Amino acid sequence: MTRPPTETGTSDPYLEVEGLVKRYGWKTALAGVSFAVYPGECFLVLGPNGAGKSTLLRLLAGVVRPSAGRIAWFGRDAMPVPLDVRARLGVVMHRTMLDPELSVQENLHYFARLYRVSEAASRIREVVVLLGIEERLHERVRQLSRGYQQRVALARALLHRPSVLLLDEPDTGLDQASRRRLVALVREHCAHGGAVIMTTHAQELGIEVATKAVYLERGRVLWSARDAGELREALAGSASLVAV
């Protein structure tokens, strides 16, 4: 896979979102959200429960279609998300997307075939070592703890070497060691020119990895932070927020 330039903002954005709206019946889950994500960035989406964070990620992944607005992946309109764009996204949602009756290895092998991963066996070995799940490779997913299942879900998302990771509360169920592994993984991904769009309730985790952030409330952007410093100040209750 060719890697894009790594300096933030120096190349075309991976993702541009303009005036994104999502309504479910009378309820507005997202009300006109706009932002851009560049290669090398870790874009954090913060907000309380029901703010629209998961809806935003589901829209970006193409699981649901927006009611209004525009999503452009890699410089192209992406509604619906084309197959070649799907192949460049690694997605972790609330649910693991794994088959509980299959072993870790069988699940990863299944997704490797769906994503046409070349040299699947060696790539599977790489990701299971990266996530520290090599000793559970032959266990069925339903026998694993929530934390282990989450690690397998992360392995699945990384399997096809995606350009962008969409992570919806990826730290769910993870212990401290696994969280540190997640932080390292996100930094490594961004350092190699990939991008990460992540939601989390764990602010300390967000501060460690984020290069940009937005705070959503009731589907609207309440504030945004242009860099890690602004994010720290914002989360600390500082006044130096960017009003949107």
Partner 1 sequence: MLSQLWAIVQRDLLSEWRAREVVIGMLVMALLTLLVFNFAFDLTGAQRVASGSGAFWVAVVFATLLGFGRATALERQEGAWEGLLLSPVERPVIFLAKLVSMLSFVVVVEAVALVVMAVLFGLPVFRSGVLVVLALGTLGLCTLGTLFSVMTAQAKAREVLLPALLFPLAIPVVISAVRGTVLELSGFSAEAAPWKSLLGGFVVLFFSLSLVTFGAVAEE
User: Residue numbers of the site for partner 1 (CB under 8 A)?
Assistant: 61-65, 80, 83-84, 86-87, 89, 91, 93-102, 106, 110-111, 113-116, 140-141, 156
Between 174 and 228, CB nearer to partner 1: 174
Between 62 and 219, CB nearer to partner 1: 62
Closest approach, Cβ 87 to partner 1, in A, equals 4
Closest approach, Cβ 77 to partner 1, in A, equals 16
For 37, 94, 167, the CA distances from 173, given in Å and listed in that order, are 27, 11, 14
Closest approach, Cβ 166 to partner 1, in A, equals 9
Closest approach, Cβ 95 to partner 1, in A, equals 3
Between 40 and 66, CB nearer to partner 1: 66
Closest approach, Cβ 204 to partner 1, in A, equals 27
Closest approach, Cβ 241 to partner 1, in A, equals 34
As a three-state string, the secondary structure of the chain is: CCCCCCCCCCCCCCEEEEEEEEEECCEEEEEEEEEEECCCCEEEEECCCCCCHHHHHHHHHCCCCCCEEEEEECCEECCCCCHHHHCCEEEECCCCCCCCCCEHHHHHHHHHHHCCCCCHHHHHHHHHHHHCCHHHCCCEHHHCCHHHHHHHHHHHHHCCCCCEEEEECCCCCCCHHHHHHHHHHHHHHHHCCCEEEEECCCHHHHHHHCCEEEEEECCEEEEEECCHHHHHHHHCCCCCCEEC
Compute φ and ψ for 200, nearest 5 degrees. Answer: -160, 150
Between 95 and 138, CB nearer to partner 1: 95
Pairing, β 76-77 against β 220-225: unpaired
Could you tell me the two tokens for 106? 């069988």
Between 60 and 228, CB nearer to partner 1: 60
Between 103 and 224, CB nearer to partner 1: 103
Q: From 114, 204, 102, 193, select the one nearest 152 (Cα to Cα).
A: 102
Between 6 and 147, CB nearer to partner 1: 147
Closest approach, Cβ 83 to partner 1, in A, equals 4
